[in-house]
Amino acid sequence: MLYHVRMDVHPPQGMASADFDRLKAEEKVRAEELQRDGRWIHLWRIAGEYANISIFDVADHDALHALLSTLPLFPFMTVRVTALARHPSAL
């Protein structure tokens, strides 16, 4: 199943910048793993915001939730998910 996911990151108040930098580095590694294995098929930054729009290809809603929960920045995100269906006019 395909999902459109918007992730807005809210940096934790009071966290040392070195600790947050470590989390961002871990997030990058995890995102690259998921892209390489084909589950995170598109990733776009939203200009001017600490947010992204992504397309995931996973088995179902539970698989998406489990995957998102593995992201190091997940505790600091607002996530909005839209399940996608093929449009009859799409080529």
CATH of the domain at 24: 3.30.70.1060
Residue 39 lies in a domain: yes
Residue 63 belongs to domain spanning: 2-84
Residue 91 lies in a domain: no
Residue 77 lies in a domain: yes
Average pLDDT for residues 29-48, to the nearest whole number?
98
Residue 9 lies in a domain: yes
Residue 41 lies in a domain: yes
Only one residue has tokens 């470590």, namely: 22
Residue 89 lies in a domain: no
Average pLDDT for residues 68-89, to the nearest whole number?
97
For residue 12, name the pLDDT band (cuts at 50, 70, 90): confident
Average pLDDT for residues 76-88, to the nearest whole number?
97
Residue 74 lies in a domain: yes
Contact at 8 Å (CB) between 62 and 9?
no
- How many domains, in total, are found in the chain? 1
Which of 85, 36, 91 is closest to 28 using CA atoms? 36
The one-letter amino acid code at 23 reads L
Q: pLDDT per residue over 44-73, tens digit each? A: 999 999 999 999 999 999 999 999 999 999
